[in-house]
Amino acid sequence: MKLSPRVRQAITPLRAIMAIYLLVMLIVMVFAPLLAPYDPIAQNVALRLQPIFSEGHILGTDELGRDILSRIMYGAQIELFIALGATLLATALGTLLGLLGAYFSGLTEFVTMRLIVDVVLAFPPIILALLAVTLYGPGSITLIIAIGVLFAPIFARITYGQVLSVKREEYVDAAKTFGAPTPVILFKTVLPNVSAPIIVQFSLTMAAAILLESGLSYLGLGVVPPTPSWGSMVAQGQRYLTTDPHALLVPGAFVVITILAFGILGDALRDLLDPKAKQRS
């Protein structure tokens, strides 16, 4: 099948590699219990801090003798589950706020974009996340809700700006003329025509959500131990940086590569869905 010039330009070797990596991570997320060679919380102190490529442990073991590869796999399940859930929540909530605020204007715009969006944006995300986790306790559901609410204003701002530019287009006026209900106009006429930047932001927010969740887990405010999390693995491994650096570097590398992969995917989607954005930037 012949690819269009735009698609060929968007797909570079690096982007293809990152896309394959994310696909593998998605498979690991779904099938971690089947793919992991060991129980991620099973301890064997006699084999503590085994190096990379040691017998039976490709990525070595941690300070309690737990298999790092198994913990990375289960950690990927937790990281991607929280990031995906938070990003979906942020997308739905933010898109709805921006859509309503831009389309109706007036009091609706004031409530959605000023009282809600601007207030949340006024606070640093990490501070609000720490507050939410402190008040409601650590856990996956708390993290999903907290991170989702924190990143919703970004989607609201993007949607708001896009809807302002298209709500006076002729196809919107035509839908009104033919008596289409307001929900139909919003979700079947306006929203599909502003979806490209929202899709791009979805990928970038996945990266930001993984970074924030890893940071909270590193501080001990994320996923509750002994459930494996990449951030908590980095925190535990930093004590052995000088003697057994693999305990820190391996989970740290997966955090960095995964965030980088989602960022590169976002760039590829931008070039594919909105090629003029690259020229403007």
* Residue 150 belongs to domain spanning: 13-27+59-280
Is 87 within the bounds of a domain?
yes
Q: What is the DSSP letter of 145?
A: H
pLDDT at 281: 43
Ranges of the chain with pLDDT below 50: 278-281
pLDDT at 128: 82
- Among residues 189, 192, 165, 204, the alpha carbon closest in space to that of 87 is found at 204
Distance CA(201)–CA(20), nearest Å, equals: 20
Distance CA(129)–CA(215), nearest Å, equals: 10
Is 35 within the bounds of a domain?
no
Is 214 within the bounds of a domain?
yes
pLDDT at 279: 46
Sorted by sequence, the CB contacts under 8 Å of residue 170 that are 6+ apart come out as: none
Distance CA(145)–CA(129), nearest Å, equals: 10
Is 266 within the bounds of a domain?
yes
pLDDT at 2: 60
φ, ψ (nearest 5 deg) of residue 151: -95, -5
What's the CA dihedral at 262, 264, 265, 269 to 10 degrees? 140
Measured in whole angstroms, how far is the alpha carbon of residue 30 from the centre of its chain?
16
Kindly report the pTM of this predicted structure: 0.90
pLDDT at 173: 82
pLDDT at 276: 53
Distance CA(209)–CA(39), nearest Å, equals: 26
Is 33 within the bounds of a domain?
no
pLDDT at 156: 94
Largest CA distance in the chain: 76
Is 39 within the bounds of a domain?
no
| Per-residue pLDDT tens digits for 99-128 | 999 988 888 888 888 888 888 888 887 788
Q: What is the DSSP letter of 223?
A: S
Is 45 within the bounds of a domain?
no
| Per-residue pLDDT tens digits for 151-171 | 999 999 999 999 988 888 888
pLDDT at 280: 45
3-class secondary structure, 181? coil
Distance CA(82)–CA(93), nearest Å, equals: 16
Is 227 within the bounds of a domain?
yes
For the chain, percent of residues with pLDDT exceeding 70: 94
- The domain that holds 122 is classified in CATH as 1.10.3720.10
pLDDT at 10: 67
pLDDT at 6: 61
Distance CA(125)–CA(139), nearest Å, equals: 18
pLDDT at 7: 65
For the chain, percent of residues with pLDDT exceeding 90: 42
What is the number of structural domains in the chain? 1
